[in-house]
Amino acid sequence: MSKLARSIAFAGVLALAAGPVFAGTYSLGREAAPVEVSAWDIDVRPDGQGLPEGGGTVADGEILFQERCAACHGDFGEGLDRWPVLAGGQGTLAGENPVKTIGSYWPHLSTVFDYVRRAMPFGDAQSLVPNEVYAITAYLLYLNDVVEDEDFELNKANFTSIKLENEGGFMADDRPDTPNLAKSAPCMTDCKPEVVITKRARVLDVTPDGGDEGGPAID
Amino acid sequence: MSATKKNPVRTTRRQFLSAAAGGGAAVTAQSILPVSAAEIEGLPPEVADWSRYLGEGVDAYPYGQPSKFESHVVRRNVPWLTASVESSINFTPLHELDGIITPNGLCFERHHAGVAEVDPAEHRLMINGLVEKPLIFTMADILRFPRTNKVFFLECAANSGMEWRGAQLNGCQFTHGMVHCVMYTGVPLKLVLQEAGLKTNAKWIMPEGADAAGMNRSVPLDKALDDCLLAFKMNGEALRPEQGYPLRLVVPGWEGNMWVKWLRRIEVGDQPWHTREETSKYTDLLEDGRSRRFTWAMDCKSVITNPSPQAPLLHKGHNVLSGMAWSGRGTVERVDVSLDGGRNWRHARIDGPSFDKAVHRFYFEFDWQGEPLLLQSRAIDSTGYVQPTKDELRAVRGTNSIYHNNGVQTWHVRAGGEVENVEVS
């Protein structure tokens, strides 16, 4: 056996020996190291799974919020231009113009932590360390009157004890919720006595190139 | 050498034809639009430039583009809808398209932190959580799994969301353009999850994007194992960057937000995560202040794309009405069309392939003599569900739901052929 062939054979043995025992059918992919998983696994659930060690106070959060968040969300989370409103709106959900904020609408505090940690500040995602995310989350609780003490510290230990007002405001999908006409065959002729136009797009005139700007934001 | 030189006789001949047009000779009897001199160029008895001179050779455009005469066929934004273009939406020009497949460059865009520019050589997909062995895949690994090809529509849950309180935007591009339908090539998600080995308490997965929004949603494991795909091609070519290149999740029939783009990680868990996009967004506020959550399936829906506000009727006489229908719960079995605002209905003709959870194309040929029309379409899917009217939806949901507005659309065609978005009694 030539030297080259011997080294190829040796490499083959090495590869076999080093190859992990796969659960899968195709032996594709490689095992993720714990350090790789922990670096990417940044999600947080309502039961606290995924929360990092640490904590931060309302007072610390206020300073961070002014520096990192207020340019879009406003000093008090009121939302500038069309950027999201983060505070207020309690009691508006059943009204004509609901204001959906962390305080009025969001069911779980973990969602705030998870989202800020992964996606905020807008354009500089994942730049906040865990203590900063705790502090900003604490300040958002303060802006929404969920906590009232500026010295309050939100941390891994007390996190799941904080409940938001609208946690019980959600229900399962119960569609279809409109008349299922197919079972009795939908009407084909003389289905209504007369037809009149009740609403027109031209009254609003908010189509691009149509002139005015307006209408409610969808995001 | 001078292949594009103008025919010196042309001016004279065009002038002659223009004069003739003035006398009515070149105006077709039923047209309601005047024919301009420019439209006569190249028409018989003229011989067009493109019939005389050489065109561009091969490789003039190594990646082909549509004709310059189609340059108006583009996605459009509605600037007042969102705060920034990086977290925004644009709309597919449905009124310019036909068949069931959307061209890749016209598929609407929805981003939460702009288009991530991902180098496929450096892209990794991690599977972790309740698995026997957390795994990391390269794109080359993904391409070594068995593949499948499927046509699916993708609709944003907020499609038609601006119309809950009444007719607002003039054009099906804006009222219905957050939908597209392409053929995906990808790997069944089931195969990739099984490669990592699911633990017995696994019930949910959380796909996560590699963009700066880190988009994450909770998907029940049953759906993941049923028909979800990890797609890397659309309509035969690599995913476009704005559609998640190099890898996106395909969640057939379910709201587009769940089809996570630039897919970097899937965590397996025993309960949902309640992420921002499934709590503060993509939940459906009802009139009593409560909200539906996890409203994943896109209900049966249809819209007439021609005529429509951006595509008025131009000719009296025989006309073709065209539209599209889809259902997140199966195939579309039937589409009915009304010309009188829902008083009387007739069956439209579905033409082309009928795939599960894909767009269906329908046609209705009709004669028009300039009378006002109130056009509607209503689709019925393979579950027997009938597309409801907007008022039927409002009766059960109010007007603050934002999402899942699949109500019947009405277009008002006026005597001159112009079309307006309206609602009727």
Residue B33 has pLDDT above 70, yes or no: no
The shortest CB-CB distance from A40 to any of B265, B396, B397 is to B265
| Cα of B370 to nearest chain A Cα, Å | 18
Mean pLDDT for chain B overall:
92
CA B14, CA B41: separation in Å to the nearest integer? 7
| DSSP assigned state of A66 | H
**Residue A149 domain-assigned (yes or no):** yes
| CB proximity under 8 Å: A 139-178 to B | 169-178
The shortest CB-CB distance from A119 to any of B127, B129, B212 is to B212
Q: How is the beta sheet containing B284-285 ordered, strand by strand? A: A170-171, B291-292, B284-285
Question: How high is the pLDDT of residue B24?
Answer: 37
Confidence of residue A184 (pLDDT cuts 50, 70, 90): low
**Residue A76 domain-assigned (yes or no):** yes
Question: How high is the pLDDT of residue B35?
Answer: 54
When scoring A113, A173, A183, A209 by the number of chain B Cβ atoms within 10 A, the one with the most, hence best to mutate, is A173
**Residue A24 domain-assigned (yes or no):** no
Smallest Cα–Cα separation from B157: which of B220, B204, B108?
Answer: B108
Complex prediction ipTM: 0.90
**Residue A3 domain-assigned (yes or no):** no
Taking residues B18-40, report their average pLDDT.
47
Taking residues B323-339, report their average pLDDT.
98
| Cα of B182 to nearest chain A Cα, Å | 25
Residue A49 has pLDDT above 80, yes or no: yes
**Residue A88 domain-assigned (yes or no):** yes
Taking residues B286-302, report their average pLDDT.
98
List, for residues B183-215, the tens digit of each pLDDT value. 999 999 999 999 999 999 999 999 999 999 999
b/e for B52-65, b at 16 or more Cβ within 10 A? eeeeeeeeeeeeee
Chain A contact set for B162 (CB, 8 A): 215-216, 218
Question: CA of B216: which chain A residue's CA is closest?
Answer: A43
Contact (CB<8Å) B265/A41: yes
Question: How high is the pLDDT of residue B206?
Answer: 98
Question: How high is the pLDDT of residue A197?
Answer: 96
Contact (CB<8Å) A219/B82: yes
Taking residues B129-152, report their average pLDDT.
98
When scoring A40, A90, A109, A213 by the number of chain B Cβ atoms within 10 A, the one with the most, hence best to mutate, is A40
Question: How high is the pLDDT of residue A9?
Answer: 45
Contact (CB<8Å) A169/B289: yes
**Residue A138 domain-assigned (yes or no):** yes
Question: CA of B399: which chain A residue's CA is closest?
Answer: A96
**How many domains are contained in chain A?**
1
| Cα of A150 to nearest chain B Cα, Å | 26
Question: How high is the pLDDT of residue A208?
Answer: 81
The shortest CB-CB distance from B420 to any of A114, A186, A201 is to A201
Q: Who contacts B209 (Cβ-Cβ below 8 Å, separation ≥6)?
A: B116, B215, B216, B244, B260, B261, B262, B263, B264
The shortest CB-CB distance from A195 to any of B80, B273, B340 is to B340
Residue A189 has pLDDT above 90, yes or no: yes
CA B96, CA B357: separation in Å to the nearest integer? 22
CA B171, CA B177: separation in Å to the nearest integer? 9
When scoring B138, B257, B273 by the number of chain A Cβ atoms within 10 A, the one with the most, hence best to mutate, is B273
Contact (CB<8Å) B267/A41: yes
Confidence of residue B10 (pLDDT cuts 50, 70, 90): very low
Question: How high is the pLDDT of residue A207?
Answer: 84
Contact (CB<8Å) B135/A182: no
**Residue A22 domain-assigned (yes or no):** no
| Cα of B67 to nearest chain A Cα, Å | 24
User: Of the given ranges (A156-160, B33-37, B348-352, B395-399), which has the lowest mean pLDDT?
Assistant: B33-37
Angle, vertex CA B107, rays to CA B264 and CA B191, nearest 5 = 35
Looking at per-residue pLDDT, the higher value among A206 and B293 belongs to: B293
**Residue A50 domain-assigned (yes or no):** no
| Cα of A153 to nearest chain B Cα, Å | 23
Q: To the nearest whole percent, how much of chain A has pLDDT over 90? A: 77
List, for residues B65-117, the tens digit of each pLDDT value. 999 999 999 999 988 888 899 999 999 999 999 999 999 999 999 999 999 99
Chain A contact set for B191 (CB, 8 A): 25-26
Question: CA of A86: which chain B residue's CA is closest?
Answer: B280
Contact (CB<8Å) B136/A36: yes
Going A19 to A25 to A30 to A36, the CA torsion angle's sign is negative
Q: With an 8 Å Cβ cutoff, is B135 touching chain A?
A: yes
When scoring B78, B165, B170 by the number of chain A Cβ atoms within 10 A, the one with the most, hence best to mutate, is B170
What is the biggest distance separating any 2 CA atoms in chain A, rounded to whole angstroms?
95
Contact (CB<8Å) A98/B285: yes
- Determine the structural domain holding residue A76 and report its residue range: 57-168
> Could you tell me the domains of chain B?
10-51 (no CATH), 94-292 (3.90.420.10), 301-422 (2.60.40.650)
Confidence of residue B15 (pLDDT cuts 50, 70, 90): very low
Residue B2 has pLDDT above 50, yes or no: no
Where would I find the beta strands (DSSP E) of B193-300?
A: 204-209, 219-220, 229-234, 237-238, 248-250, 263-269, 284-285, 291-292
List, for residues A194-205, the tens digit of each pLDDT value. 999 999 997 767
Contact (CB<8Å) A24/B162: no
Confidence of residue B36 (pLDDT cuts 50, 70, 90): low
Contact (CB<8Å) B292/A173: yes
| Cα of B104 to nearest chain A Cα, Å | 23
Question: How high is the pLDDT of residue B7?
Answer: 40
CATH number for the domain including A76?
1.10.760.10
